Each structure stands twice: as C-alpha cells, then as structure tokens.
Amino acid sequence: MTRPLSVGIAGLGTVGTGVLTMLRENADVIAARAGRSIAVTAVSARDRTRDRGISLSGLRWYDDPVELAADPAVDVVVEVIGGSDGPARALVEAALAAKKPVVTANKALLAVHGAELAAMAEQTGVPLAFEAAVAGGIPVIKALREGLAGNRLSRVTGILNGTCNYILTVMRERGREFTEVLHEAQKLGYAEADPSFDVDGIDAAHKLAILAALAFGRPVAFDAVYVEGIRQVSAVDIAFAGELGYRIKLLGIARRTDAGIEARVHPCMVPLSAPIARVDGVFNAVVAEGDFVGRVMLEGRGAGAGPTASAVVADLVDLARGRFTPVWGAGSGALSDAPSVPMAAHVGAYYLRLMVVDRPGVIADVTAVLRDAGVSLESMLQHGRSPGEAVPVVLVTHETGEAAMRSALARIAALDAVLEEPALIRIETA
C-alpha cells in the first residue's frame, strides 16, 4: 500500500460528520477497496466549539475553508458546506486552482456554476467528483457516466426529492392536504423550516440539470429547466389519480427530442404499472433509457448523513485508485451543443380538474373552449350530482401542445361557472 490519501473536509454538518464517521468506522473495508488508507487530517467549519458527537482531536482546524484548500498536507478537498455561492464556491475554485481534486455533495453549486467549474477542472487536469450531489447514496452519477457509457440515452426520469415524495406519499395514504402533511414532515425533520427549496421543486431541478448534462453529454444548463413544485397538488387530485390508475409523483424528466433537450420538474400522473410509481416515502429513484440497455432503474435513499457519506466516500475511493472521469462524462471538445427546448414546445397528455357549479351547460362551455383550442379529450369524470353546488369535474386530454393547453386553461378559468383555479397535472406514460 502507498501512503494514506489525506482528506480535508469543509463543512461539519450532518454530511460532514457522516463522512468522518464512515471513514473511521469502515476504515478497513475502505482501505481494501481504495488500495490505501483514506484519512481526514483537516477540517473547516464555522463553530469550533459546537459538540458534533465526534472527536476532532488531531485534526488541523481552519475557520476559513479557502485556507483548508491551501493546506499543503491536504490531498483532496471534500466540500459539504452547501449553497450555490459564498464559501462553498470560493473553496471549490480555490481547490481546483491549487490543483487539488474536489469531492462535493453540492447540487446547487454544480447546477448553477457547474459549467465554469468543469472548465476549470479540465484546464488544471484535476478531478471534480459529485456522486453525492444527486440521489444521495444511489450511485447514479457513476451509472450514467460509466455504467451506461456505450448507450445513446433518450430519457432520464427521477424522483429526486425525498421531502416531496414523502409528502405526496402521506397525502395519498391518509387522504390529507399538502399543508397539514408539510407541517407534520417539518416536525419529523423530513422537511426544512423553510421548505420552499424542496416543495417548489428547486432542489429537484438542480439535480435534474446535472443528470441531463451527464445523460446527454453537454454542459449543465439549470436556467433551461422548467420548474413547478407540489404546493398545488390537492388530496382530491390524488384520489382521482388513483381512480384513473395513476400515482402523482414529482418527477424530473430530461428527454432528447428532435428539437433538442427538454428538461422539466413538475407533478406528474404516472401509471401504476410503471416501477417508479411504486417508489414511496423518502426514497429516490432514477430511470435511464438507453438504445441498447433499455430501461434501467436505480432506487434508494436520496438524503441523510449515511447515504450522502456513502456517495462522498465512493468518490474518495475512486480518487485513491486513480480512477478518473471528466465532469460531464466527456472532455469539453466532445460535448454536445444540443439546444434546450422550452416548455411551451412540450407535447403530452393532461389531467385537468375543475370545480364547477353543477348546472346545465357548464360542461358544454368547457368542452367548447377545449375544442376551439384544438385540444381533444380522452375521457371525462364526474361523480354524482349536486344541482347548484360545486362539484369536481375531471378531464383527460389526448396528446396536446403545452401552449394550446395553457391558453385553453386561461379561458376555462375565466368562465363564470368555474369556481377555483383549475388543477392541471401532466400525464407521463413512460
């Protein structure tokens, strides 16, 4: 065995202490697989006095993470501070500039600044590894960049945010509304005090941007991802979904079309027969579709100290073994320049649920608007009758353009007999 790989960890929250713990508890297994020991020798965090339930004795301490990158005895920098800018970004840039390999769990940083960071890493010839940035412990980065490397991928679909999947699962199982379940999830620690990053789909969009870059071999393009969260999903829609043979999931979907790459995060109706429809609770899953391999699904825990540490340590083992892969799977000269396709160009089937006054002529008005917009209907669902009162009406369309659907929706919402903002959920058959 050669000398130990000396690691500096910046950020000692849940993930940072998880990495420290894993490297210590599984030191024997890790050394065997890495061909050498991997030892943390330096750390950086804001508060030196906080009790993290783990010994930091013998480790060099840096208040400023950028100084950790300058420590000549640190071979590899692990960035688990988080955030797309600020100290995390400064640290990663400093490390790459100092020609030190970086392992990061930071999806926001990669989604927003990944293109520049990858260029920097390529210029200095230094690895920038980020298995932990997407889907926690599931080795999905490795699967896309290496395991399926021979395939032309047509599509990547994922349940990429455990908080949203947990909330949607509990809403379905108990027939409850979003706000109640969110509060409960916050009490249980499954959702943050400020949940917007998760429930508005931003976190999933960061991860999808990274997956799309890997799947289609092009630089990350976060701004081109269409994003819609789960706040508008209601218990009544989840119940109707069940009746129609669907589950509602927040999916990230990246797809290669003739026009370019489509990337979108939004609630979807997924047929119960699709394996991803059954992935419940805090679990994440990623489905990749390749021209030779067909459909491959990976499923596991997408967050938490253990799974995230598992991914960080896998990257460290790769570095210790000298295994190298370019950031987006190929060198910059071999990357694709496929354009991003805007959401308005999306074509698919739609679920539309209206609350209407139950009186003659309402359905005729609604369907006339759809007909005028060129939207054709596959089915309609209305239970019972309550003359003069509000009743839900569900319409399922055939394949329709997003732009046509949106304009029809605006006109339907403006009808007198339509009482609330209509609910629109896209149907994904794959």
Q: Which stretch binds a copy of itself (CB under 8 A): 101-109, 238-246, 273-281, 358-366?
A: 273-281
Distance CA 137, CA 311 (A): 5
Residue 53 as a binder of a copy of itself (CB under 8 A): the answer is no
CB 84 within 8 A of CB 59: no
Cβ neighbors of 28 (< 8 A, separation 6 or more) are none
Distance CA 255, CA 274 (A): 17
Q: Which stretch binds a copy of itself (CB under 8 A): 135-143, 154-162, 239-247, 413-421?
A: 135-143
Among 236, 297, 357, 377, binds a copy of itself (CB under 8 A): 297
Helical H runs in 286-361? Answer: 305-321
322 in the Ramachandran plot: left (φ > 0), alpha (ψ -120 to 50) or beta?
Answer: left
Find the helix or strand (DSSP H, E) in which 255 lies: strand 246-257
Q: Which stretch binds a copy of itself (CB under 8 A): 47-55, 148-156, 190-198, 407-415?
A: 148-156
Residue 173 as a binder of a copy of itself (CB under 8 A): the answer is no
Question: Closest Cα to residue 115, out of 240, 144, 163, 123?
Answer: 123
Residue 367 marked as a ligand binder: no
Residue 138 as a binder of a copy of itself (CB under 8 A): the answer is yes
CB of 209 vs a copy of itself, minimal distance in Å? 19
**CB nearer a copy of itself, residue 137 or residue 158:** 137
Q: Which stretch binds a copy of itself (CB under 8 A): 80-88, 247-255, 275-283, 406-414?
A: 275-283
The two structure tokens encoding residue 116: 């520049």
**CB nearer a copy of itself, residue 46 or residue 295:** 295
Residue 278 as a binder of a copy of itself (CB under 8 A): the answer is yes
Distance CA 281, CA 173 (A): 10
By CB under 8 A, the count of residues binding a copy of itself is: 64
Distance CA 186, CA 285 (A): 22
**CB nearer a copy of itself, residue 296 or residue 355:** 296
The residue from 100, 142, 207, 249 that is catalytic is: 207
Q: Report, in angstroms and rounded to the nearest whole number, the Rg of the chain calculated over CA atoms.
A: 24
CB 244 within 8 A of CB 429: no
- Sign of the CA dihedral with 94 first, then 100, 104, and 109 last: positive
Going residue by residue from 8 to 37, which x/- string records binding to a copy of itself, judged by CB under 8 A?
----------x---xx-xx--xxxxxxx--
- Please tell me the number of Cα atoms within 13 Å of 233 on its side-chain side: 34
Residue 383 as a binder of a copy of itself (CB under 8 A): the answer is no
207 is catalytic: yes
In what side-by-side order are the strands of the sheet with 60-62? 60-62, 38-44, 5-10, 76-79, 102-104, 128-129
CB of 246 vs a copy of itself, minimal distance in Å? 16
Distance CA 269, CA 168 (A): 12
| Residue ranges in 313-372 that form contacts with a copy of itself under rule CB under 8 A | 313-314, 316-318, 321-326, 329-331, 334-335
**CB nearer a copy of itself, residue 63 or residue 291:** 291
**CB nearer a copy of itself, residue 40 or residue 143:** 143
Residues forming the site for a copy of itself (CB under 8 A): 18, 22-23, 25-26, 29-35, 131, 136-139, 142-143, 145-152, 217, 275, 278-279, 290-301, 306-307, 309-311, 313-314, 316-318, 321-326, 329-331, 334-335
Instruction: Mark the binding-site residues for NADP(+), compressed into ranges.
Output: 10-17
- Residue numbers annotated as active site: 207
Instruction: Mark the binding-site residues, compressed into ranges.
Output: 10-17, 107, 192
